[in-house]
């Protein structure tokens, strides 16, 4: 979409708020435009308990299903609104709540290991914030210790925490990278994500073969030597 077309799709309504046309909203979703590195959250995001949120989402999801014409007295369907509500709050979007951030303990780098450590092929499942359908992929994470090390499984858990939000892949990549920099107390962190978006493969353009790669290179990884070492490690295909 050209700039001119975007402008013609934006209108100022009577409350002086910008209004986006339906076409532009679709286009923004299909182009995966993001507006911020922080997940956009409301000020009252955590005023309600998880149980209250589940109750509200259950009612709304029931209304969606009924609007679609589904008969919720059917045995197979009647538990779906509550199942979906619980799944949203307790599973696939639990990373919205900072209380669910994994507890991370650091250890002294007793081995004096000075090289980069790479954990690759960390499987994750997320959901596209534009369509609420799955994103699935592999994250590859590297860091160079500045004196402290982190348990390997914590790298998986941090990837999982940020994946369990409505996401765009670019934001997911940067959120993981910045959190690792903060935890490890070093800029020397790299993250690469290769993922499939079901909103691209199962609908819309229906491309089943493409995948999307995004990368975050901090500190030493922004330099060619470390970056190419990291990328070389990702090419290794050890059979186990
Ligand atoms: Zn999408």
Instruction: Give residue limits of the domains in the chain.
Output: 105-235
For the annotated catalytic residues, the residue numbers are: 128-131, 169, 197, 199
Is residue 152 helix, strand or coil? helix
Residues with CB under 5 A from ligand 1 (ion): 128, 130-131, 199
Mean pLDDT of the chain, nearest integer: 90
How far apart, in whole angstroms, are the C-alpha atoms of residue 93 and residue 127? 9
Strand pairing class (189-197; 148-150): unpaired
How far apart, in whole angstroms, are the C-alpha atoms of residue 225 and residue 156? 26
pLDDT at 229: 97
Check pLDDT > 70 for residue 226.
Answer: yes
pLDDT at 2: 40
Check pLDDT > 60 for residue 3.
Answer: no
How far is ligand 1, taken at its centre, from the CA of residue 130, in Å?
5
Check pLDDT > 70 for residue 142.
Answer: yes
Give 24's contacts (C-beta < 8 A, 6+ positions apart): 1, 6, 9, 10
pLDDT at 34: 60
* Interval 60-104: pLDDT, tens: 999 999 999 999 999 999 999 999 999 999 999 999 999 999 999
Judge whether 81 and 61 are in contact, CB under 8 Å. Answer: yes
How far is ligand 1, taken at its centre, from the CA of residue 187, in Å?
31
pLDDT at 35: 61
The two three-digit tokens of residue 178, written as one number = 């910045």
How far apart, in whole angstroms, are the C-alpha atoms of residue 135 and residue 145? 30
Q: Average the pLDDT over 31-55 and give the result.
A: 88
Minimum mean pLDDT among 40-49, 71-80, 106-115: which range? 106-115
How far is ligand 1, taken at its centre, from the CA of residue 23, in Å?
15
pLDDT at 174: 97
Compute the half-sphere exposure of residue 52: CA atoms within 13 Å on the CB side of its CA: 5
Minimum mean pLDDT among 33-37, 53-57, 72-76: which range? 33-37
pLDDT at 62: 98
How far apart, in whole angstroms, are the C-alpha atoms of residue 161 and residue 176? 9
The domain defined by 105-235 carries CATH number 3.30.1130.10: yes
How far is ligand 1, taken at its centre, from the CA of residue 33, in Å?
10
| β-sheet bridge partners, residue 134 | 127
* Interval 187-213: pLDDT, tens: 999 999 999 999 999 999 999 999 999
How far is ligand 1, taken at its centre, from the CA of residue 77, in Å?
26
How far is ligand 1, taken at its centre, from the CA of residue 61, in Å?
20
How far is ligand 1, taken at its centre, from the CA of residue 118, in Å?
29
- Structure-model confidence comparison of residues 42 and 27, the more confident one: 42
Is residue 47 helix, strand or coil? coil
Q: Is 83 exposed, middle or buried (0-12, 13-18, 19+ CB in 10 A)?
A: exposed
Q: Average the pLDDT over 163-171 and give the result.
A: 97
Stated pTM of the model: 0.86
How far is ligand 1, taken at its centre, from the CA of residue 169, in Å?
10
Res. 10 pLDDT band, cuts 50 70 90: very low
- Structure-model confidence comparison of residues 111 and 65, the more confident one: 65
Is residue 114 helix, strand or coil? coil
């Amino acid at each position: 979409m050209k700039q001119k077309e975007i402008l013609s799709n934006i209108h100022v309504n009577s409350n002086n708020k910008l209004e986006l046309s339906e076409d532009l909203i679709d286009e923004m979703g299909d182009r995966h435009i993001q507006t911020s590195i922080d997940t956009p959250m409301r000020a009252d995001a955590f005023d309600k308990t998880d149980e209250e949120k589940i109750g509200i989402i259950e009612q709304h999801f029931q209304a969606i299903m009924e609007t679609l014409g589904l008969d919720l007295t059917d045995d197979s369907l009647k538990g779906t609104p509550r199942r979906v509500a619980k799944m949203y709050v307790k599973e696939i979007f639990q990373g919205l709540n900072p209380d669910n951030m994994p507890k991370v303990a650091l250890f002294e780098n007793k081995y004096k290991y000075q090289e980069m450590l790479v954990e690759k092929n960390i499987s994750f499942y997320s959901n596209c914030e534009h369509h609420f359908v799955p994103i699935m992929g592999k994250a590859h994470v590297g860091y160079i210790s500045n004196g402290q090390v982190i348990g390997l499984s914590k790298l998986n858990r941090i990837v999982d925490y940020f994946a369990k939000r409505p996401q765009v892949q670019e934001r997911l990549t940067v959120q993981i990278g910045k959190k690792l920099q903060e935890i490890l107390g070093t800029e020397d962190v790299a993250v690469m994500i290769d993922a499939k978006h079901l909103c691209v493969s199962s609908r819309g353009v229906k491309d089943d073969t493409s995948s999307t790669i995004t990368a975050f290179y901090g500190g030493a990884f922004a330099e060619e030597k470390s970056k190419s070492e990291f990328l070389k490690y990702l090419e290794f295909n050890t059979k186990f």
